Amino acid sequence: MDASLRSLHKNIFEWLAGPTGSVVIHVALILALLFLVNLATKEETPEIEVKVIEVDEQQLDDLLEDLKPPEELPDLVETITPPDVDMDMTPPPDVQDFAAAPVMDTVTELDIASDALSPIIMKNLSPGNMKNRSGAGRQAAIGAYGGKWGQYAEAAVLRALEWLRINQNPDGSWGTVSPDKEGYTGLALLTYLAHGETTASEKYGETVEKAIRYLISRQNDKGGFIAPPFTGAPKCYAHAIATYGISEAYGMTRIPSIKPVMEKAVQVLLDAQKHYDHGGWQMYAYDGSKGYGQWDISLAAFCAQALKAAYIAGAENPGLKDGMDKAARFIMSKQKEDGSFPYSNSNPGRQPNITGAAVLSLQLLGYGSEAATRQGLQFLRDADASWSRPPQAPLYAWYYVTQARFHQGGPAWSSWNEKCAPTLIRNQNEDGSWLSPGLALTGDGVEREFRGEEINTKVYATTLAALSLQVYYRFLPTYQPIEDKVIDQTSEDDISIEIL
């Protein structure tokens, strides 16, 4: 090696050993380590894919053609012996209609241009509590929970949605007189929302929007969807059901102008609850008066459903969660030794329909694992769904028992679905509506009322029947296992997330 080459090597070694060389070497090592860490992270962490899609709207006629049941439906299978229980329930007193304020000629404007519909889908993220209500989620849920009746039930639901669309009043309501119109409109709105239909839906967007506009136009400055005084069975039920519908509407559309309407309506229920030390609601009274009795589980069930829907939607009423817990404690305190729940203190008979209402309320309020809930489900084990020998208020009873059994899951759900779904499917009218079974029966000594065939009866029966058949995808079953993860909060700035 000549002298010049040895001199070059010496200079390089001296440079590497000096400060500048040391810095360069360390930077190179750090970059190499970052590259290896990034490579490992990519291999271990799934990517979150974000893409913008066009909303897939299917035509009703195409769906009906695909889902139209064949002439021969599957044979019925007797799974449980019809119950030998006292199903008689004294009907509520005949309450005169309290006319509300006249309907506005032009209904309240909605801020539709909002975050009502987002076309962005983010994979690998939880889609939320209502993921099964539309598209592939709905079809998957029908397949998972509907058994052999799932597709027939969906065809019946689609016909019901079309019948409701045709029979909607020009002002957006259903029914003939107030306060029935507010209650029926709430039920119809719930039926469309359960199917994933919102103001953005191609087929039923206008129907849903008109229903929301109508309910908003009917709310008074006290927060009620009916005119004060807040007494009388039609008024109290109508307000609770309308609150339920408007809360789900906000939860599914996020139209900003609906939120204050929801919260004012919820406050009526919370204020009414505070009037009574039992923690529930008085029979047909929100204003602190005695009503027709001292307490009422049937009304409390609709109030509880409305509060839970508002809670899920994000209502910010002070004391909302406490009100839900008080409602649950009230319902549990009224359970009888055999596991059943009475209609009221003035009607303490054993009622499968009221027991179903109480059990579902406890499940939705977060008390599904309580002993009271389990005992109530045990009482319902022999509940039947016979169209020719119906219980008192059959569609009301089946609406609640169906949901309670669905949340229970397992063989109890499969057995009930095998009885109730075909009963409803086989007895749907050709036009897509239902009438409640109410024939004068012979042989059991009980004559049950027939409510007639006028439009109010059809809307009531059609919405409850359709909601019962939408149970497969309307809510996630509460028995679905949820992965538990322990999160250590290390900062006061950490975000607390509550799973609903």
If pLDDT is split at 50, 70 and 90, which confidence band does 244 have? very high
- pLDDT greater at residue 333 or residue 65: 333
Whether 173 has a pLDDT exceeding 70, the answer reads yes
- pLDDT greater at residue 446 or residue 145: 145
pLDDT at 178: 85
Least Cα distance to 433 among 150, 71, 166, 69 occurs for 166
Whether 152 has a pLDDT exceeding 80, the answer reads yes
Percent of the chain with pLDDT over 90: 56
Whether 50 has a pLDDT exceeding 90, the answer reads no
Cβ neighbours for 267, distance < 8 A, ≥ 6 positions apart: 223, 317
| Bridge partner list, 52 | 120
Summary mean pLDDT of the chain: 78
If pLDDT is split at 50, 70 and 90, which confidence band does 148 have? very high
Amino acid at 370: E
Whether 444 has a pLDDT exceeding 50, the answer reads no
Gap between the Cα atoms of 284 and 293, Å rounded:
8
Q: 336-374: buried (b, 16+ CB within 10 Å) or exposed (e) per residue?
A: beebbbbbbeebebbbbbbbbbbbbbbbbbbbbeeebbe
* 52 in any annotated domain: no
* 37-41, 348-352, 412-416, range with greatest mean pLDDT: 412-416
- pLDDT greater at residue 401 or residue 479: 401
* 318 in any annotated domain: yes
Helix orientation angle between 180-194 and 455-469, rounded to the nearest 10 degrees:
30
Task: Tell me whether strands 120-122 and 50-52 are parallel, antiparallel or unpaired.
Answer: antiparallel
Gap between the Cα atoms of 168 and 185, Å rounded:
9
Domains in the chain, number: 1
Whether 448 has a pLDDT exceeding 90, the answer reads no
Amino acid at 474: R
Gap between the Cα atoms of 206 and 93, Å rounded:
37
If pLDDT is split at 50, 70 and 90, which confidence band does 103 have? very low
* 53 in any annotated domain: no
C-alpha pair distances (Å), 120 with each of 145, 222, 332: 28, 38, 43
* 56 in any annotated domain: no
Phi, psi at residue 488, to the nearest 5°? -90, 120
* 498 in any annotated domain: no
Average pLDDT over residues 103-127: 35
- pLDDT greater at residue 28 or residue 57: 28
pLDDT at 230: 86
Q: What is the pLDDT of residues 280-317, one digit of tens each?
A: 999 999 988 888 778 999 999 999 999 999 999 999 99
CATH number of the domain enclosing 253 = 1.50.10.20
* 47 in any annotated domain: no
pLDDT at 30: 65
* 293 in any annotated domain: yes
pLDDT at 121: 29
The encoded tokens of residue 432 equal: 């897509």
Q: Which residues span the domain enclosing 447?
A: 61-474
pLDDT at 454: 87
If pLDDT is split at 50, 70 and 90, which confidence band does 74 have? low
| Bridge partner list, 50 | 122
Average pLDDT over residues 310-328: 97
**pTM of the entire predicted model:** 0.74
* 7-21, 69-83, 422-436, range with greatest mean pLDDT: 422-436
* 216 in any annotated domain: yes
Helix orientation angle between 60-67 and 150-166, rounded to the nearest 10 degrees:
150
Average pLDDT over residues 206-218: 98
